[in-house]
């Protein structure tokens, strides 16, 4: 009954109850002959008691609510209350406590969401720092070993000095590649990389990428081709160099992780306003439990083989950020033993 009552209604009800109770008591005393009072007197008594009790209840309830609300708002609000937030500002004809309860629930939900997000960010930061440390440790350790060996006398041995310098240089190049890829991801995430949107032929760009990677494909006897029936020319609107980087990464990965003697195919599918581009291979594929993480930084399904094949472990993370910068999508589907297909959308010119 009292659940959704406003403070004004509660004050009126309490005043009526008090006035009626006292008036009834006086009436009973009069009926017993212990007190003499007329009907008009009874009515006036009821009005006086009702009015006085209502005013007392009204101001007491308002002040009580004000003190409680003020304490609650001090807890849930990050900004200071306005100087004019006084007891007389409380709207007694509204369901104040219900509104405060709703606001507290919203604050609690928001606060819990913020805690969850902070925990996710903290876990991500810890994992990222661990991954970066792990990736940097290997080349640094190798460089350290080669340099100290040379300083300990191997520099004078013509059979090993040049070989060790070349290996140290190779690890320095790897360190530089990791740092450059991290810088690229940072710019993409911070929105600092400005896209140079222009129209170009995506088939011609793919031909260029195939030409650049032809030697690497030949080393593993992998044939670079187009899927029959899905190899038309399309003009798209995007940042050409960024899309080149995406294609290089996807085709290069298909060569590294594809089956030796296999094939890499690029396909184009018309989606009216958009183009679906797919890069497929018939390699070993990706295990289902690894699919949700292929675009994570430093993620490697086969860590030993990935490092032997080179790369920084950041390529697919960069690809994902580039596509997000274009407000487009990228996904992967794969079956172990059958190969993988990476698909991305592009805006048609």
Domain co-membership, 175 together with 224: no
CA 125 to chain centre: 13
The answer, yes or no, to whether residue 21 has pLDDT greater than 70, is yes
Q: What percent of the chain has pLDDT over 90?
A: 19
The answer, yes or no, to whether residue 256 has pLDDT greater than 60, is yes
Q: For tokens 């606060």, name the residue.
A: 111
Q: For tokens 């004809």, name the residue.
A: 93
Domain co-membership, 76 together with 168: no
The answer, yes or no, to whether residue 90 has pLDDT greater than 50, is no
The pTM of this model reads 0.59
pLDDT value for 181 = 76
Any domain includes 120: no
**Nearest one of 287, 285, 281, 276 to 331, comparing CA atoms:** 276
Q: Structural domain of residue 326, as residue ranges?
A: 197-347
Domain co-membership, 205 together with 313: yes
Tally the domains of the chain: 3
Segment 292-310 shows an average pLDDT of 64
Any domain includes 300: yes
8 Å CB contact between 237 and 348: yes
pLDDT tens for each residue of 166-192? 888 988 888 887 787 777 777 777 776
Any domain includes 106: no
Domain co-membership, 220 together with 291: yes
How big is the CA angle at 226 (ends 347 and 262), to the nearest 5 degrees?
A: 130
- Across the chain, mean pLDDT equals 77
Domain CATH for 157: 1.10.287.130
The answer, yes or no, to whether residue 82 has pLDDT greater than 50, is no
Domain co-membership, 336 together with 221: yes
pLDDT tens for each residue of 134-147? 677 878 888 888 88
Any domain includes 339: yes
Of the ranges 38-42, 101-105, 232-236, which is most confident? 232-236
pLDDT value for 222 = 92
Domain co-membership, 220 together with 280: yes
């Amino acid at each position: 009954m009292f659940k959704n009552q406003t403070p004004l209604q509660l004050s009126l009800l309490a005043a009526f109850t008090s006035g009626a109770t006292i008036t009834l008591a006086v009436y009973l005393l009069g009926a017993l002959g212990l007190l003499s009072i007329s009907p008009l007197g009874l009515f006036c008594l009821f009005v006086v008691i009702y009015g006085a009790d209502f005013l007392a209840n009204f101001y007491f309830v308002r002040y009580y609510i004000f003190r409680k609300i003020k304490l609650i708002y001090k807890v849930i609000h990050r900004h200071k209350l306005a100087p004019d937030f006084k007891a007389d500002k409380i709207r007694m004809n509204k369901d104040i406590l219900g509104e405060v309860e709703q606001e507290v629930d919203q604050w609690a939900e928001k606060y819990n969401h913020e805690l969850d997000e902070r925990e996710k960010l903290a876990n991500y930061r810890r994992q990222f720092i661990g991954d970066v440390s792990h990736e940097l440790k290997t080349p640094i350790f190798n460089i350290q070993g080669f340099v100290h060996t040379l300083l300990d006398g191997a520099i004078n041995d013509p059979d090993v000095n040049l070989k060790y310098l070349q290996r140290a240089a190779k690890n320095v190049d790897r360190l530089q590649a990791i740092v450059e890829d991290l810088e690229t991801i940072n710019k993409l995430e911070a929105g600092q990389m400005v896209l140079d949107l222009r129209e170009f032929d995506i088939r011609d760009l793919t031909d260029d990428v195939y030409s650049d990677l032809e030697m690497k494909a030949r080393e593993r006897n992998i044939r670079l081709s187009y899927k029959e029936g899905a190899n038309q020319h399309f003009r798209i609107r995007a940042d050409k160099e960024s899309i080149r980087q995406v294609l290089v990464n996807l085709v290069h990965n298909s060569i590294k992780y594809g089956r030796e003697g296999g094939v890499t195919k690029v396909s184009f599918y018309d989606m009216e306003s958009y183009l679906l581009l797919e890069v497929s291979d018939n390699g070993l594929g990706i295990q289902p439990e690894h699919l949700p993480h292929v675009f994570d930084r430093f993620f490697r399904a086969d860590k030993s083989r990935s490092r032997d094949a080179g790369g920084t472990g950041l390529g697919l993370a960069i690809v994902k950020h580039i596509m997000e910068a274009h407000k487009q999508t990228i996904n992967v589907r794969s079956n172990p033993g059958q190969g993988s297909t990476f698909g991305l959308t592009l805006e048609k010119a």
